[in-house]
């Protein structure tokens, strides 16, 4: 990560699960089963711990003893100033810019309780390649997002398919906790996650933000 990005996005990494319409639709039958019996009514929040931080062109370790590893292409929203009880109408005033995030995870059994052991391995959250100011992105709610493995397109979607957009997420989260300058909201990974293996080059491309590239290496 560049020094500018390290300074601007040095806070907590907040992940939002189930924030793509297609992914939520794919899980609806599961959510009708006990003990929950209904889909989530609020954003499903998880945290990528500090040890997961990683950068552009840095290796991602495939942990010994696990069978599968999955990248998670996502748009990262960098908070520019402290936000507490912010309304949707002025939520974008609190955004400094955007980054590409690759939210690596072991396959998840439950979206209601994202597992720390699956999501918080060392280096499991590359961020980069640079901070793109809000002024350079006309509409963050219409950005194409693509995942490439060894140069082949493996996943493609658009932020137009979010369940909740950026103002809705900021308003909902800042209602019960202060978002601090430098925090990053990982706005969700679309349906269709793929498996990767040691030796694979994994790239996430988002319109207007460039490409974030990492190589998977064996532990």
- DSSP classification of residue 121: S
pLDDT at position 199: 98
CA–CA dist 85, 88 (Å, integer):
10
Q: Write the CB contacts of 96 (distance below 8 Å, at least 6 apart in sequence).
A: 8, 78, 79, 80, 81, 131, 133, 134, 181
Buried b (16+ CB within 10 A) or exposed e, 17-38: bbbbeebbeebeeeeeeeeeee
Q: Report the pLDDT averaged over residues 184-188.
A: 97
Q: pLDDT at position 17, please?
A: 87
Average pLDDT, the chain: 90
Tens of pLDDT, residues 194-206:
999 999 999 999 9
Mean local confidence (pLDDT), 161-175: 95
d(CA 107, CA 29): 19
Say what the pLDDT of residue 200 is: 98
140 vs 209: CA distance, rounded Å: 11
In which band, very low, low, confident or very high, does the pLDDT at 136 lie, cut at 50, 70 and 90?
very high
Two tokens, residue 139 = 């509409």
% helix, strand, coil for the chain, step of 5: 20, 35, 40
pLDDT mean over 37-51: 78
3-218 belongs to CATH 3.50.50.60: no
């Amino acid at each position: 990560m560049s020094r500018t990005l390290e300074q601007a996005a040095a806070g907590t990494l907040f992940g939002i699960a189930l924030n793509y319409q297609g992914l939520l639709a794919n899980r609806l039958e599961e959510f009708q089963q006990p003990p929950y019996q209904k889909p989530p009514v609020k954003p499903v929040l998880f945290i990528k711990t500090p040890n997961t931080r990683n950068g552009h062109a840095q290796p991602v370790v495939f942990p010994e003893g696990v069978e599968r590893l999955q990248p998670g292409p996502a748009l990262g929203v960098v908070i520019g100033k402290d936000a507490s009880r912010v309304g949707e109408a002025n939520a974008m005033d609190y955004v400094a810019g955007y980054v590409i995030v690759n939210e690596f995870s072991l396959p998840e059994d439950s979206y209601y309780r994202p597992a720390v052991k699956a999501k918080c391995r060392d280096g499991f959250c590359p961020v980069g390649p640079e901070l793109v100011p809000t002024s350079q992105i006309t509409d963050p709610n219409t950005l194409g997002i693509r995942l490439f493995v060894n140069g082949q397109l493996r996943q493609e979607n658009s932020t137009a398919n979010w369940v909740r957009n950026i103002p809705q997420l900021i308003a909902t989260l800042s209602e019960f906790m202060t978002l601090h300058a430098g925090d990053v909201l990982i706005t969700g990974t679309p349906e269709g996650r793929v498996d990767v293996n040691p030796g694979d080059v994994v790239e996430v491309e988002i319109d207007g933000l460039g490409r974030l590239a990492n190589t998977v290496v064996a532990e």
